[in-house]
Amino acid sequence: MYRLALGTVLSGLHRIMGLALSASSLLLVAWLAAAARGPEAYATATRFFSSLPVRLVLAGALLAFWYHLFAGLRHLSWDLGLGFEKSTARKSGMAIVALAVLAWAATLALAWRFLMASP
């Protein structure tokens, strides 16, 4: 029961994190467009990206990036027929969660100077 629940939760999470990244890509598009547009547009974008809600969204997108990456690699390994056994799937499921949180913490530390920079 627990195994089934874990697998279902992680699989749903993979989709939700993917959708979150799709939504976040709009921020990336806006940022690139502002950089291309000129200094005034970029200054407006910088103010927007420096606001607390957007900083929180970006920190969340960073977690979504790592989770979706590791969970995606797990899905790709299943495509190759690897890791289907229940005990292996359970271990890899817990591993990707741990890896995602670790990678998130590490890159969040690196991103901190950007996230906390004054506009």
In the complex, which residues of this chain contact other proteins (CB under 8 A)?
7, 11, 15, 18-19, 21-22, 25-26, 28-29, 32-33, 35-36, 39, 42-43, 46, 62, 65, 69, 72-73, 75-76, 78-79, 84, 86, 89, 107, 110-111, 114, 117
Q: How far is the CB of 94 from other proteins (least distance, A)?
A: 14
Token readout for 61 is 């997108």
**If you count DSSP H runs as helices and E runs as strands, how many of each does the chain have, helices first?**
4, 0
Q: How far is the CB of 114 from other proteins (least distance, A)?
A: 6
Q: How far is the CB of 53 from other proteins (least distance, A)?
A: 18
For other proteins, give the closer residue by CB, 4 or 98.
4
Place of tokens 């359970």: 90
C-alpha–C-alpha distance, residues 34 and 32, integer Å: 5
For other proteins, give the closer residue by CB, 53 or 116.
116
Classify residue 81 by its DSSP letter: T
Q: How far is the CB of 100 from other proteins (least distance, A)?
A: 13
Q: What is the DSSP string of 31-72?
A: HHHHHHH-HHHHHHHHHHHHSHHHHHHHHHHHHHHHHHHHHH
